[in-house]
Amino acid sequence: MKPAASLGTGARVRVAVAAALPCLLGAAAHADGLDAIQVVLGHAETSPVPQGWSAGAAAYSGSSAYAAGSSTTMVIPGGIYIGDPVMYLGDRIFYTFGRQGPLSFFGRLRVRLGNLDPEDSPAWTGMTSRKAQLEAGLGTVVVSPVGLWTARFSSDVSGRSNGTELLVNWAAPLVGEGWMVMPGLGVLWRDRRLANYYFGGVSPAEATPGRPAYEVGNAWSLAPSLIASYRLGPQWIAGVVLAYERFSSQIADSPLIQKNGRYDALVGFGYVWR
């Protein structure tokens, strides 16, 4: 057992937490640190992060950010591609455009799904739908003796929220023969435009006697996670994602939120195309 950070400097590293989960799609996108962890990709039949296409399905459960929102439980089919230098991870795609020693640099596109539809709850009558947006950003990953560090920013390029998000994430992958376990901890910062759109803002036009106007402002969250994968055989792999986002008071105090956080849990199985 050894941390991925202790691997030789000649080894190529990639951003690949979700590579252990062949069916990770946008439903688990709340685990935003997933794009922040690197492990060495492998062609071996026992690699817990195989290169190429993987396809499968996952059982997913996740809570809504909103007090009136219901939890989601579903089975998700899907697939991912892990290559050099492009990776497709369901709701996001990465392009690694530079490497220098322990540093790698990547560009990122992501579809952030909408999370509020007035038709879904009477509590949201009169609200404006929070629809999906396309985000673009840049990031860097640093391999260090104490783990993997990622910093990245992303901004809305579709004109929905016009907001920006920053992430700093630490992870300590443990890699064995055919398995991988990666605890992580991230800090997310969202500017007022993104936070108001997706995390509890109520405009004066949306306010009612029971739903006062509310300005979230700039807000941050704490995001611990645990990612694991296990190679069941040459062509089969299993994975688990457990993630939680702890809201700061700016979000938690919104009349739409009234809760301290949200969770995501996913168990998946996939077929590795070789």
Token output for 6: 């202790």
Burial label for 263, CB within 10 Å (0-12, 13-18, 19+), is middle
Token output for 22: 């062949």
**pLDDT score for 105:** 92
Calpha distance 166→221 (Å, rounded): 11
Tens digit of each residue's pLDDT (9 = 90 or more) over 6-37: 333 222 222 233 333 333 333 344 444 444 33
Mean pLDDT of the region 102-118: 93
Tens digit of each residue's pLDDT (9 = 90 or more) over 190-203: 999 999 999 999 99
Residue 48 has pLDDT above 50, yes or no: yes
Calpha distance 48→265 (Å, rounded): 19
**Domain with 141 in it:** 2-272
**pLDDT score for 9:** 29
**pLDDT score for 79:** 84
pTM over 0.75: yes
The rounded radius of gyration (Å) of the Cα atoms in the chain is 19
| Whole-number percent of the chain with pLDDT over 70 | 84
The CB density around residue 140, as the number of other CB atoms within 10 Å, is 14
Across the chain, mean pLDDT equals 83
Closest CA to 202 of 263, 140, 255, 148: 255
Convert 87-124 to b/e letters by CB count within 10 Å (16 or more is b): bbbbbbebebeeeeeeebebebbbbbbebbeeeebebb
Tens digit of each residue's pLDDT (9 = 90 or more) over 124-172: 999 999 999 999 999 998 888 888 899 999 999 999 999 999 999 998 8
Q: Count the domains in the chain.
A: 1
Tens digit of each residue's pLDDT (9 = 90 or more) over 212-259: 999 999 999 999 999 888 999 888 989 898 999 999 999 999 999 999
What count of residues does the chain have?
A: 274
* CATH classification at residue 243: 2.40.230
Closest CA to 182 of 29, 30, 28, 38: 38
Q: Cβ distance 67 to 259 under 8 Å? A: yes
